[in-house]
Amino acid sequence: MSTEQALKSFIAAGLLVLAGCASQAPAPAPAPAPRSEPAPTTAAPVQQVAPAAVATPAKRCDATVTLTNNETFAFRKADLTAAAKARLDRDVVAKLAGCARVEAIVIEGHADRLGTQEFNQKLSEQRAEAVRAYLALHGAANDPIETIGMGKTVPAKFCPDIKDRAKLIDCLAPNRRAIVTIKGTGK
C-alpha cells in the first residue's frame, strides 16, 4: 500500500469514528455529590425590635400679653388700672400657674411721644416695674423677670393730624402700654 492509499484509509477510518460518535447520545453528566446540611447553630433566634419611641417636644407655656384699651396707663402715670390688674390675673398669673418651669418673663414698658426722651424713658421703665411688682405679689416672685423701658421708641399709634392737646393725649393712649412675654415649659 502506498503512502497515499494509507493516508486515505486513515482519513476514512477517522471519519467513520466521528460519524459513529455523532449518532450516539452524550453520556449523562455525573450527579453532584449530595450536600450535607450545616449543623444547627446555638445562636439565639432573631427578635423583632420595636422602633424607638419618638420623643415628643415638651409642652410650652409661652404667651405674650399686651395691655390695651382701658388697661393702658394714664397720661404721665405708672399706676396699673383695675382693668390692667384683671387682665394680668387672667392672662399672665393664670398662665404662669400652668408652667412647670418659667425660663423668662420679659416686661416692656412703653410711653407716648409727648414729653422729652429722658422723661418718657424713665416713665416706661416705671411702667414695666409696676407690672413686675404686681406679678411678684401674685406668684411670680421666684421667676426670672426682666424689665425694659422702651420710652417712646415703639409707638402703637401715631395720630399725626390732631392739634388739640386733650384729643392728642386720648389718641395716643394705646402707646402707654406694657407687654408681658412669658417663655417656659408646661406641666
Q: How confident is the model at residue 16 (pLDDT cuts 50, 70, 90)?
A: very low
**pLDDT, average across residues 58-71:** 95
Q: How confident is the model at residue 12 (pLDDT cuts 50, 70, 90)?
A: low
Buried b (16+ CB within 10 A) or exposed e, 21-49: eeeeeeeeeeeeeeeeeeeeeeeeeeeee
CA–CA separation, 89 vs 85, rounded Å? 6
Residues 6 or more apart in contact with residue 93 via CB below 8 angstroms: 135, 138, 139, 140
**pLDDT, average across residues 6-10:** 54
At 30-54, the pLDDT tens digits run: 666 666 665 555 656 656 666 666 7
* pTM reported for the whole predicted model: 0.70
Higher pLDDT, 27 or 149: 149
C-alpha cell of residue 17: 469514528
